[in-house]
Structure 1
């Protein structure tokens, strides 16, 4: 047997790896192949009787329904995450006082964007605690401004501006500023003393 050179060995190895038994099957093709094989085995096992064929069809429909439910759930998950990401509050429930204290700590550290976010969360929680707005999980800053502006019309414009400021630092990539935080703090303090307009 004559020795083979490096290039020839690489060529033979590449040819070997191109053989069908080495090809990796993607997961969709794998699931479809297993499903077809299962249904084929089921039909073979039931024979040609009418009851067997009906049973095979029912089992196939159940499998398709389950696959559809899984697909639907997987498509809805990103929408739920996106809705949660657009909300004012995070996952932990805090009181208005806790949000204010956190906002003050962040401002002391000159983390203005986060301080602005926490001050608006303090405003939202305070309005909920005082029953001026409904406690609504997943509420956006704009929804808060609209509902609070109805209860406190004198503050409607400032609430809308506060919502824009929150959105700018949260989603718009803008940096918070001491001025933006001071404006949000002033609004928070005045809202604490505000009384709703009688219906």
Structure 2
């Protein structure tokens, strides 16, 4: 007895059996597909990320091979991870330096006279807030030098720049100004604890610089 032929039986007979092309063949075909014009507009970051993940996949596959190849693959994976971590740390430090460069200015944006900075510094010193008192005392020094036209006002001036500018105008105090700038940076950015001795050194420098004004006028 012959079974009737249905249209769909011929269609099924014409289909090729499924073929297991394997991982390498699949990657080759995927690479060829990616080379087509439709993928040419792929963003560079996406393309690099795809190549990177493919590389990691290849290395992970290699770990299932012989002992030697697996060891080298693991070594390369660890090296890549370490390199990426180093790049991340470098990027974060670079951004931190950029933010710090913006924050290194002596003044915090509040316009105060030298006398007002001195008053605030003394108040903080009396409360035992030595780091804050040191910062305010150096601001008093900087503002006083600007008010007396010993240095020109400069927005964003750092403590080191103040020491350099004032040191050229008052060479006899250049070393003390440099030490004061380092102390300001230490308690502000280096997280060093302020001390009564440190504050006293800045207060004394403030008084010395005030006396230098008389000397400069007398020499004129």
TM-score of the pair, normalised by structure 1: 0.58
After TM superposition, the structure 1 = structure 2 runs for residues 13-92 of structure 1, keeping only pairs within 5 Å, are 82-92=100-110
CA-based RMSD of the aligned residues comes to 2.3
After TM superposition, the structure 1 = structure 2 runs for residues 1-199 of structure 1, keeping only pairs within 5 Å, are 82-195=100-213, 196=216
Indicate the residue corresponding to 1:54 in structure 2.
none
Indicate the residue corresponding to 2:88 in structure 1.
none
CA distance in 1, matches of 2:135, 2:100: 18
CA distance in 1, matches of 2:97, 2:180: 26
How far the C-alpha of 1:78 sits from its partner, in A, is 8.6
- For the structure 1 residues 164 and 79, does the alpha-carbon distance in structure 2 shift closer, same or farther, using more than 3 Å as the test? closer
Q: Name stretches of at least 5 consecutive residues in structure 1 with no aligned partner.
A: 1-31, 33-76
Greater C-alpha radius of gyration: 2
How far the C-alpha of 1:193 sits from its partner, in A, is 1.6
Three-state SS of the structure 1 residue aligned to 2:116 is: helix
Three-state SS of the structure 2 residue aligned to 1:194 is: helix
Superposition misfits of 4+ residues, deviation over 2 angstroms: 77-84, 195-199
CA distance in 1, matches of 2:105, 2:151: 15
- For the structure 1 residues 172 and 79, does the alpha-carbon distance in structure 2 shift closer, same or farther, using more than 3 Å as the test? closer
Indicate the residue corresponding to 1:46 in structure 2.
none
CA distance in 2, matches of 1:194, 1:161: 18
Q: Name stretches of at least 5 consecutive residues in structure 2 with no aligned partner.
A: 1-41, 43-94
TM-score of the pair, normalised by structure 2: 0.53
- For the structure 1 residues 80 and 131, does the alpha-carbon distance in structure 2 shift closer, same or farther, using more than 3 Å as the test? farther
